Structure 1
């Protein structure tokens, strides 16, 4: 086996040998933005680390898997208020994703999985992979880490605690960072308690770009800094723990390894086309 799970660390010889075996290649993506006043801005680091752990688990179970270099800058949405943050326009990100896929598919590296850590990347990934499906009959799945983690929280810490801790700047990401990068969390900067309800434009805030009106809601073209203070919404980050993060990461690794194995078992080994 090659010397690393990271493609960037393989020699050209190792890469050519691995490519001939048609391995699974994970494409980690994240963002570089406000994750709350206490957490490192680079959530791409968590996506990259989880991808590596998935590659290790999948490979140990017989599904040869590698991790491509992480895309650190997410698709721009509503975090432009953050000084120092860097994001790509949706059109630029789409061009980047299209080019990444074209480079891999050119060499018949068709067993690809996105490991995504940013909501602003979801639309681009969906559109780019749908085009590959329509043009080539190849299914490229995406594992959106935080969406899956939100769904796992009630099982791990109970429904009541999940409700108290879930939200941007809280669970799941804060707990996961506490587990993966404990030295980068700054508890002294955590805001106290659950954020108080806010009103903007005369309406209650329900999300970074959503406001309640009557029995319904509307979306508005505001920056996140206009609606959510300190990048923390709904939950209390003081209730996040490294133990919760460890449990989430363990489940994400299991799911990711299962996805890698499924991609292999449900794709033609020669053409890469999906076996439906």
Structure 2
């Protein structure tokens, strides 16, 4: 098996030899938005590195796994208020995914898995993967990293701490960042998320919700109106590189199992 993992590093001859019908390709996706005033905006950095970790773990199981170039811009949502952030429309993101699937499918590369790091990408992923299943029998699973991580955190650090540290701008991404690229974070800026934000006399309960008589109601607000620090509903001071180490190992194991037992054998209709 060739040592190179990233598709971009393959020569054209290496690609012809390595990217066969048996190869698995991981497609990392993320965003460029406010991840908390202490953290780098590009969560696609973590998604890309996480895809490499999954590929390494899958290769250790004997599966030829490669990582496609990351899609760095996320689907547009309430994080458009992030200063310096760049997002793209749902239609544009669908178009990018469509074109990538078409190119891979043309060359017989049909064992594909998405490694996603942004909630705003989910609608486009759902639309495009369903379309390709219907028209070409392509069955592409998507591992939404942080959604999986939220479910794993209580078992890794305990339910009580997980409840306090989990949230946008906190766990899992801040701890994962402390594992992958600690030099890019600003520990001096880490502080608990602000509370008590309101809009039009209503208590803000999420990045696109308010609370009315105990019920959460969706409203057209932006992230900056919910929190001035990018963190919401969590205490990022509880995040740590140790938690990040454990999360990365667990996510890599889950991803490699999915690749080995399901993607590599073929999931086509």
Give the TM-score taking structure 2 as reference length: 0.97
Give the conservation status (yes or no) of the 8 Å contact 1:33–1:82: yes
Alpha-carbon distance, 1:21 to partner: 4.8
Aligned to 1:55: 55
Structure-1 residue corresponding to 2:108:
108
Secondary structure at the residue paired with 2:216? Answer: strand
Structure 2 CA distance for aligned equivalents of residues 36 and 42 of structure 1: 11
Aligned to 2:90: 90
Give the number of equivalent residue pairs.
268
Q: Provide the residue aligned with 1:161 in structure 2.
A: 161
Give SS of 2:63's match: coil
CA distance in 2, matches of 1:102, 1:195: 45
Contact 1:38/1:186 (<8 A) preserved: yes
2:88 match: secondary structure:
coil
**SS of the residue aligned with 1:79?**
helix
State the superposition RMSD in angstroms: 1.1
Q: Cα deviations across residues 79-115 of structure 1 (Å, max 9, x unaligned)?
A: 1112211111111111111111111011111100000
Distance 1:202 1:105 in 2: 52
Residue in 1 aligned with 2:3? Answer: 3
Residues 99-248 of structure 1: matches in 2 within 5 Å? Answer: 99-191=99-191, 193-248=192-247
For residues 190-223 of structure 1, the C-alpha deviation after alignment (integer angstroms, 9 at most, x for no partner) is 12x3422222121111100100101322111111
**Is the Cα contact below 8 Å between 1:48 and 1:70 reproduced in 2?**
yes
TM-score by length of 1: 0.94
Displacement of 1:60 = 1.5
Q: Which runs of 5+ in 2 are unaligned?
A: none
Give 1:69 deviation, angstroms. 0.3
Q: How far does residue 62 in structure 1 lie from its aligned partner after superposition? A: 0.8
Distance across 2 between alignment mates of 1:20 and 1:131: 23
Residue in structure 1 matched with residue 255 of structure 2 by the alignment: 256
**Contact kept in structure 2, 1:55 and 1:67, CA below 8 Å:** yes
Residue 30 of structure 2 contacts residue 47 of structure 2 at CA under 8 Å; is this kept in 1? yes
Range with greater deviation from structure 2 (83-92 or 43-52) = 83-92
Moved more, 161-170 or 214-223: 214-223
Tell me, in whole angstroms, the C-alpha distance in 1 between the residues paired with 2:201 and 2:38.
30
- Residue matched to 1:270: none
CA contact (8 A) 1:28 1:114 kept: yes
Superposition map of 1:27-66 within 5 A: 27-66=27-66
C-alpha contact 2:75 2:93 (8 A) present in aligned 1: yes
Q: Which whole-Å deviations, capped at 9, do the CAs of 1:122-150 have from their partners, x for residues lacking one? A: 11001100011111222100000000000
Task: Tell me how far apart the structure 1 counterparts of residues 38 and 155 of structure 2 sit (CA, whole Å).
Answer: 26
